[in-house]
Amino acid sequence: DSGVTQTPKHLITATGQRVTLRCSPRSGDLSVYWYQQSLDQGLQFLIQYYNGEERAKGNILERFSAQQFPDLHSELNLSSLELGDSALYFCASSVTGGRGGFTDTQYFGPGTRLTVL
Amino acid sequence: GQNIDQPTEMTATEGAIVQINCTYQTSGFNGLFWYQQHAGEAPTFLSYNVLDGLEEKGRFSSFLSRSKGYSYLLLKELQMKDSASYLCAVRDSNGDSNYQLIWGAGTKLIIKP
């Protein structure tokens, strides 16, 4: 158990709908990362937050948005869902968010499996 | 630019040794991570190398050569439960004090009895 929690574990919805995925980082970690992993594909970095502020953006679609709240939990919002959005969505957390030269290991939550029908 | 290469798939026999290679090209290298990911599960941290040389952790070892842009993960006494994908990720600087993780596509390791 990494200490990172994600809810829900599974989500089934229809095209055109909107969903929200939730992540709570490990105790003491200030940074949260969101990743998408389609079937048999690599990890695609979506976005990173550090202490409530956006730190880095990857290949995140305009239909997707995220935020990190004062209690450091984060939510990923996916709207106008398409069949191709079906994937595993992972949240990871780390202490410093990659700042400075410190070793900053990312620890992953169990993921949310999203199925769009 | 930034690039990480790993073999797509490897097969090995239970009880044997396997070496998974990772080559990278980055501008501000600051360490390399290896993660293990079983199908449908989250990646789990295996090792971190920032200096040249070999780091050993039980049956798993990781090696880094910064001058060659090369790392490998060595798995000994292979067990069936080692069947998984192994992800190489490089910590790279954008030129300021912020670092990002650049992920390889992963190597799927299949262990046969």
pLDDT at A95: 87
Q: What is the pLDDT of residues B67-89, one digit of tens each?
A: 999 999 999 999 999 999 999 99
A98 and B99: CB-CB below 8 Å? Answer: yes
A108 and B43: CB-CB below 8 Å? Answer: yes
CB of A89 closer than 8 Å to CB of A13 = no
pLDDT-based confidence at residue A111 (cuts at 50, 70, 90):
very high
In this prediction, residues B92-96 reach a mean pLDDT of 74
pLDDT at A102: 65
Q: What is the pLDDT of residues B35-49, one digit of tens each?
A: 999 999 999 999 999
Nearest to B105 among A42, A98, A111 (CB): A42
Concatenating the DSSP letter of every residue in chain A gives: --S-EEE-SEEEE-TT--EEEEEEPPTT--EEEEEEE-TT---EEEEEEETTEEEEE-S--TTEEEEE-TTS-EEEEE-S--GGG-EEEEEEEESSTTBTTS----EE---EEEEE-
Would you say residue A117 has pLDDT above 90? yes
pLDDT at A100: 63
Q: Does A5 touch chain B (CB under 8 A)?
A: no
B87 and A43: CB-CB below 8 Å? Answer: yes
Would you say residue B22 has pLDDT above 90? yes
CB of A68 closer than 8 Å to CB of A47 = no
Q: What is the pLDDT of residues A11-69, one digit of tens each?
A: 999 999 999 999 999 999 999 999 999 987 889 999 999 999 999 999 899 999 999 99
Q: Give dist(CA A31, CA A49) in Å, integer.
A: 5
